[in-house]
């Protein structure tokens, strides 16, 4: 998608601090982090939101979580804990309409959410 911020990052048109990339997923640091570790794990395939996932995307979505777990280990937050968030739609706080998983950690999280 030519107007999608994340598609432009994936195409190399906009710079990012990429921490992981393979044929299906790319992960980069959020430019407005809410915690010491705030990484976005993004499918290379443009999918607008969770609500637009197809059955064929099941393996891809699982891979997002596997990559997040690996990155949490690399960031040294796997033992203390971390939060994984996917926002779906504007009321949930989705701002970029390209499916992405937030990996957030490095300090104690607030509860309750919402």
Which residues are bridge partners to 103 per DSSP?
39, 84
7, 16 contact by CB (below 8 A) = no
Known catalytic membership, residue 98: no
Distances (CA, A) of 84 to 30, 38, 62, 73, 94: 14, 10, 13, 14, 14
**Secondary structure (3-state) at 105:** strand
47, 69 contact by CB (below 8 A) = no
- Catalytic residue, candidates 38, 100, 102, 107: 100
Active site residues: 100
């Amino acid at each position: 998608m030519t107007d999608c911020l994340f598609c432009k990052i994936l195409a190399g048109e906009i710079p990012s601090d990429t921490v992981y990339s393979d044929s299906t997923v790319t992960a980069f640091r959020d430019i407005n982090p809410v915690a010491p570790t705030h990484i976005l794990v993004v499918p290379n395939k443009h999918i607008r939101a969770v609500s637009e996932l197809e059955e064929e995307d099941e393996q891809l979505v699982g891979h997002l979580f596997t990559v997040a777990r690996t990155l949490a280990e690399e960031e040294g937050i796997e033992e203390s804990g971390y939060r994984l968030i996917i926002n779906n739609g504007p009321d949930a706080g989705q701002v970029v309409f390209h499916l992405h998983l937030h990996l957030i950690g490095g300090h104690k999280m607030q509860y309750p959410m919402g």
